[in-house]
């Protein structure tokens, strides 16, 4: 299957700082990328959907000014957690879909964010 | 509202067969997915059903009944490495994935 690379896999940051997470599709062009957050023992919660070259669509309850998403190219999307707080500590996962209507989305490895 | 239900946890014995059920109520239906997720890792794709019936792929099979809003994942010849969470997800009319909470499968020797 297609490969999606997410970096970093783990990050620890101080409260109040910002963290950037990258999601790259290595062998296909991703017209759409999804960002999820997963708390322990819970399912994936969609945070936002980003389409290349346009603004991301955020799910209800997700602060767009706090979770900045950039999808500047067909192979790269970034999520920046600004002014991170301990409650932002979570597992963040991106997925990428090769083309509109394609059945399967491919997941990155996930990023474990710990805010201290 | 939209809802995906699956058991929270199941236990099975190595070498045996286990069936993980998933029922769904969504606004529209454009396919059902099963993913495997090991602790601390991202989900990996197992199967996709859009038509009624059974899809077999090696030790794993997935069944769908759209009229009943029901699917199951069947795992045969269980191995210890199959211990993981299994996530059911439905693509709704907007092609958004609606996720179940996952079923934690514990395999015992």
In this prediction, residues A79-104 reach a mean pLDDT of 86
Alpha-carbon span B37 to A109, nearest angstrom: 11
pLDDT band at A1 (very low <50, low <70, confident <90, very high): low
Alpha-carbon span A1 to B56, nearest angstrom: 18
Taking the Cβ of residue B7 and every Cβ of chain A, the question of whether any pair is shorter than 8 Å is answered with: no
| B97:A103 CB<8 A | no
pLDDT at B30 > cutoff 70: yes
Give the residue from chain B lying closest to A102, CA to CA.
Answer: B95
Give the residue from chain A lying closest to B49, CA to CA.
Answer: A103
pLDDT at B45: 87
Alpha-carbon span A7 to B34, nearest angstrom: 25
Contact A25, A96 (CB under 8 A): yes
What's the DSSP call for residue B3?
E
In this prediction, residues A70-97 reach a mean pLDDT of 93
The whole-angstrom distance between B105's CA and the closest CA on chain A is: 13
- Hey, which residues does B73 pair with through a beta bridge? B20, B62
CA-to-CA separations, A75 to A20, A28, A91, B56, in angstroms, rounded? 16, 7, 22, 32
pLDDT at B57 > cutoff 80: yes
CA-to-CA separations, B71 to A26, A103, B51, in angstroms, rounded? 32, 17, 11
| B50:A43 CB<8 A | no
* Residue B72: φ, ψ to 5°: -140, 155
| B48:A110 CB<8 A | no
Question: Could you please report the per-residue DSSP string of B45-104?
Answer: EEEEE-SSEEEEETTEEEEEETTTTEEEEEE-S--GGG-EEEEEEEE-TTS-EEE---EE
Which positions in chain A have a beta carbon within 8 angstroms of at least one beta carbon in chain B? 1, 6, 34, 42-46, 49, 91, 93, 101, 103-110, 112
What's the DSSP call for residue B41?
S
pLDDT at A100: 56
| B96:A109 CB<8 A | no
Q: Report chain B residues whose CB lies below 8 A from the CB of A45.
A: 99
More confident call, A21 vs B27: A21
Structure tokens at B89: 């997800």
């Amino acid at each position: 299957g297609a490969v999606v690379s997410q970096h970093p896999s783990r990050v620890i940051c101080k409260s109040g700082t910002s963290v950037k997470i990258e999601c790259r599709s290595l062998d296909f062009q991703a017209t759409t990328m999804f960002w999820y957050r997963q708390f322990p023992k819970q399912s994936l919660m969609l945070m936002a959907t980003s389409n290349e070259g346009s603004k991301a669509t955020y799910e209800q309850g997700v602060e767009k000014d706090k979770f900045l998403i950039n999808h500047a190219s067909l192979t790269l999307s970034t999520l920046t957690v600004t002014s991170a707080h301990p409650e932002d500590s979570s597992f963040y996962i991106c997925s990428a879909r090769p083309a509109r209507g394609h059945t399967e989305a491919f997941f990155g490895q996930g990023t474990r964010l710990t805010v201290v | 509202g939209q809802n995906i239900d699956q058991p929270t946890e199941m236990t099975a014995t190595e070498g045996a067969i286990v069936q993980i059920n998933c029922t769904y109520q969504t606004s529209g239906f454009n396919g059902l997915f099963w993913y495997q997720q090991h602790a601390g890792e991202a989900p990996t794709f197992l199967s996709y059903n859009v038509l009624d019936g059974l899809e077999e792929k090696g030790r794993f099979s997935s069944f769908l009944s759209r009229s009943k809003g029901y699917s199951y994942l069947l795992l045969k010849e269980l191995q210890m490495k199959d211990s993981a969470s299994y996530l059911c997800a439905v693509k709704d009319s907007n092609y958004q994935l609606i996720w179940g909470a996952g079923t934690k499968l514990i395999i015992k020797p």
